[in-house]
Amino acid sequence: MAEEVKLFGMWGSPFSRRIEIALKLKGVSYEYIEEDLQNKSPLLLKYNPVHKKVPVLLHNGKPIAESIVILEYIEETWKTNPIWPADPYERAIARFWAKFFDDKCGLAAWNACWAEEKEKEKAMEEASECLKTLEGELKDKKFFGGDKVGMVDIVAIFIAFWLRVLQEVVGADLLTPEKFPALFKWSEELVGCPIIKENLPPRDRLIILFRARLESSK
Amino acid sequence: MADDLILLNLWSSPFGMRVRIALAEKGLDYELIEEDLSNKSPLLLKMNPVRKQIPVLIHKGRPICESLIIVQYIDEVWRHKSPLLPSDPYARAKSRFWADYVDKNIYAIGKLVWGATGEIQEAAKKELIEWFKVLEGEVGDKPYFGGDSFGIVDVALIPFYSWFYAVETCGNFSIVAECPKLVSWAKRCMERESVSKSLPDQYKMYCFLLELKTKFQAQ
């Protein structure tokens, strides 16, 4: 049977882009379906009735939701170019950092950029603590995955790309080469990787999106 | 020690219970160290410097943190006995999805049902019943979430059974009246020694949670 792979996503969503990057790194062909999150399609609601969110991967008619769950599925289904460590202990460490990122870092960085004046200092401190922890984990490695881009790099890509655009728009200096040299260098390396840079949202379009949100919050 | 395993734990933690259940399912020996979270041990701070939380499993001197990550690790290293995840990738994805669902929702909301009062408690109660109904819909008439085999979703959720009495008493409602199939599933899990030996008595848990509630309210 010819394989059918579809991805329901949203162009600006880092969660959606994680999946696209993983599929592209593994050379998997797929049909991409752009969702309007203000007007979700009946198909999205059918395939992810519990959370009603993107991304959703549809493989031969079977839906998988939640980005980390999808990343695990992709690794187990398409064995070329592994992005997860093979060793169970190393894999547990990678899962830990992915969870730490999703539970704490991404949200802290996002909130710090959008925080109102009175909460700004505390939010920035919290976000900086997260980045400091990531910096400590990265140390002198090129990527979180070692010499090659791995799962944690793909999960943390929000910091490498989205945050850098966002902090410029809102005027926050969260991730700078002075404060976090290793993390900053990592972000440049990561978004410079051939397959990755082709699968990030257009910078200009993201700036427009963030600016619009900034205007409407005033 | 035969399996070189140490578990840093807290008797009342549903997350710690998950790991104990998984270790018991695999028939593994381990040293259990009870932590005092108001006075965390140097070992805990060394083994989990990022989150400083229990449970932490230390295997041959190397720490693994986060309960469901630990459970998956145990399942992968001791694959040959009582698998907690199916072998088919799609079935595994479904298991991970539902384990993640439990992780996202139950603890935070359940805590408000036994820990809060007034409108916050009422809203939390409604939400908890809603999540329980979704889970009940997923397990249905199956013996376990994964079908015939006890698995990671069961491991993720069953520790919260030890909260049922507290949640019902504080929230003034009956879980069996709202979700009878979920209670049947829970009782089925409790028939497994790995579960019954890892969960504290519901009344003991209720007394402990009441004490915590008083402490929170005093602060």
What ipTM describes this predicted complex? Answer: 0.95
Out of A59, A69, A77, whose CB is closest to B97? Answer: A69
**Whole-number average pLDDT of chain A:** 95
A66, A76, A133: residue with CB nearest B50: A133
Per DSSP, helices labelled H in A26-60 are: 42-47
What is the arithmetic mean of pLDDT over A171-197? 96
**pTM for this model (two decimals):** 0.96
Three-state SS for B125? helix
Contact yes or no for B207/B214 (Cβ under 8 A):
no
First to last CA, chain A: 54
> Is A66 within 8 Å of chain B by CB?
yes
Give the pLDDT of residue B218.
Answer: 76
Q: How confident is the model at residue B217 (pLDDT cuts 50, 70, 90)?
A: confident
Chain mean pLDDT for chain B: 95
Q: Does A73 touch chain B (CB under 8 A)?
A: yes
Question: Mapping DSSP to helix (H, G, I), strand (E, B) and coil, where does residue B175 land?
Answer: helix
Are B136 and B181 in contact by the 8 Å Cβ rule? The answer is yes
Q: Which residues contact B11 (CB under 8 A, 6 or more apart)?
A: B34, B200
% residues pLDDT > 90 (chain A) = 96
B111 in the Ramachandran plot: left (φ > 0), alpha (ψ -120 to 50) or beta? alpha
Percent of chain B with pLDDT over 90: 94
* Whole-number Å distance between alpha carbons of A46 and B5: 44
Residue B1 has pLDDT above 60, yes or no: no
Burial annotation B57-85 (CB, 10 A radius, 16+ → b, else e)? bbbeeebbbbbbbbbbbbbbbbeeebbbb
Q: How confident is the model at residue B2 (pLDDT cuts 50, 70, 90)?
A: low
CA dihedral B102, B106, B107, B109 (to 10 degrees): 150
| Cβ–Cβ under 8 Å, residues B95 and B138 | no
Asked if residue B32 has pLDDT above 70, the reply is yes
Identify which of B76, B171, B90, B93 has the alpha carbon closest to the alpha carbon of residue B132.
Answer: B171
Q: How many CB pairs under 8 A join A and B?
A: 57
Residues of B in contact with A131 (CB under 8 A): none
For position A218, what pLDDT does the model report?
A: 79
Least CA distance to A132: which residue of chain B? Answer: B50
pLDDT at B219 over 80: no
- Rounded to an integer, the average pLDDT of A52-62 is 97
pLDDT for A2 equals 67
Say whether A96 and B62 touch across the interface (CB within 8 A). no
Q: Count CB-CB contacts under 10 A for residue A143.
A: 18
Q: How far apart are CA A118 and CA A131, in angstroms?
A: 22
